[in-house]
Amino acid sequence: LLNQANSAVYATEKSVKDYGDKISAEDKATIEKELAGLKEAIKTKDAGKINPAMEALQKASHKLAEEVYKATASQQAAGEAPAGDQAQDAGGSGATQGQKADDNKEDIIDADFKAEDDKK
């Protein structure tokens, strides 16, 4: 439970740092208040205090999660077009490499050999 609480604190702090400017000051203040509450509950190591504090932080951070999701979705949408172009480029260069490999087949010599034991 302590690990979950610490993870929630870390993840929320990181999200606030990265995306805090995307939410209202009121929402950000609420999240920071609940973060402080969870940190205090963690210090007590009392599950009866940690669980409600984690739930309160989760509820408070829903708005932030929405903004993180929107930002991630827009980044992925923007990143998909170049990735598609790169995939086509890679396929094109793969075909050229395949042609070069065919040209090199003339240098390959297929041979059978028999291993002989030196002790005979």
Is the pLDDT reported for residue 56 higher than 60?
yes
Pick the CATH number of 2-78 from 1.10.287.40, 3.40.50.300, 1.20.1270.10, 3.30.500.10: 1.20.1270.10
Q: How far apart are CA 43 and CA 31, in angstroms?
A: 19
Residue 29: the pLDDT is: 92
Are 2 and 42 a contacting pair, CB within 8 Å?
Answer: yes
Q: What percent of the chain has pLDDT over 90?
A: 38
- pTM flag (> 0.85): no
Task: Kindly give the residue spans of alpha helices, DSSP state H, lying in 20-61.
Answer: 25-44, 47-60
Percent of the chain at pLDDT exceeding 70: 73
Q: Does residue 93 have a pLDDT over 50?
A: no
Quickly tell me which residue has 């827009």 as its tokens: 74
